[in-house]
């Protein structure tokens, strides 16, 4: 299965169910050494100034950010890397071309993932088009930027609600989401979007390169 097709499949699957290549970097940027922490609204976070690494970042997500996203201590934690064989969609298992992780507690799951291969703007626009076309999903009104191009979505199926942000940071496709069970359609939408936005800021900070020049 071509890499781009796998990226599109993974993106479509994560909208409703979830959400090689380590990039060779110049010497003046390195991954942060420790956890990144913050609780900042996405509306106050300038993603145009962020450089995202296309490599693993899950161990740098701050524990307090995970607790804030779940409103509880995580009961289950999972992560995977580029090349791992994982479940990409219902009944579909394949080797991942991304680095991702999830934390779950009390009916809420916080997820984050970054594609390992570089993503062009044309592919990013296609990923966004497919995500926006998913049934039971609506755009977040006046969604703050999460990369360029980017999108915020609220997807409601039964009593489950997912709020997600995804976008292109240079050539890195980064996505994050909060999925909550037992949520009535439209109930607490503004609070859910704000909470997901804060989670996504923490994800971006964990995946961000640091300038050591």
Q: Where are the alpha helices (DSSP H) in the chain?
A: 3-16, 63-70, 121-132, 189-207
0.85 exceeded by pTM: no
The predicted pLDDT at position 24 comes to 27
Assign residue 57 the CATH number of its domain.
Answer: 3.40.1000
Instruction: Indicate the angle between helix axes 189-207 and 63-70, nearest 10 degrees.
Output: 160
Q: What's the angle, vertex CA 150, arms to CA 190 and CA 85, rounded to 5?
A: 100
The predicted pLDDT at position 189 comes to 81
Residue 21, pLDDT > 50, answer no
Cα–Cα separations (whole angstroms), residue 206 to 3, 38, 75, 81, 120? 25, 10, 21, 16, 22
Task: Give 161-189 as a 3 state SS string.
Answer: EEEEEEEEECCEEEEEEEEECCCCCCCCH
Q: How many residues does the chain have?
A: 213
Instruction: Indicate the angle between helix axes 121-132 and 3-16, nearest 10 degrees.
Output: 30
CA dihedral 192, 178, 90, 74 (to 10 degrees): -130
pLDDT (mean) for 17-32: 35
**3 against 199, higher pLDDT:** 199
**Domain carrying residue 204:** 3-211
Considering its fold, how many domains does the chain have in total?
A: 1
**90 against 74, higher pLDDT:** 74
pLDDT digits (tens, 9 = 90+) for 43-85: 999 999 899 999 999 999 999 999 999 999 999 999 998 877 6
């Amino acid at each position: 299965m071509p890499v781009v097709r796998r990226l599109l499949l993974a993106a479509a699957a994560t909208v409703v169910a979830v959400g090689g290549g380590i990039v060779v970097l110049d010497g003046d940027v390195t991954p942060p050494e420790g956890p990144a922490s913050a609780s900042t609204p996405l509306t106050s976070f300038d993603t145009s100034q962020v450089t995202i690494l296309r490599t693993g970042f899950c161990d740098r997500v701050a524990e307090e950010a995970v607790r804030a996203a779940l409103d509880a201590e995580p009961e289950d934690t999972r992560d995977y890397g580029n090349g791992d064989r994982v479940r990409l969609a219902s009944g579909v298992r394949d080797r991942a071309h991304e680095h991702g992780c999830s934390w779950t507690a009390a009916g809420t799951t916080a997820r984050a993932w970054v594609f390992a291969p570089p993503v062009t703007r044309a592919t990013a626009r296609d990923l966004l088009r497919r995500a926006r076309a998913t049934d039971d999903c609506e755009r977040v009104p006046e969604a703050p930027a999460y990369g360029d191009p980017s999108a915020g979505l609220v997807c409601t199926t039964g009593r489950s609600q997912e709020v997600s942000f995804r976008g292109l940071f240079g050539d890195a496709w980064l996505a994050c989401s909060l999925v909550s069970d037992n949520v009535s359609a439209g109930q607490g939408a503004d609070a859910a979007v704000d909470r997901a936005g804060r989670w996504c800021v923490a994800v971006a900070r964990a995946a961000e390169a640091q300038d050591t020049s």
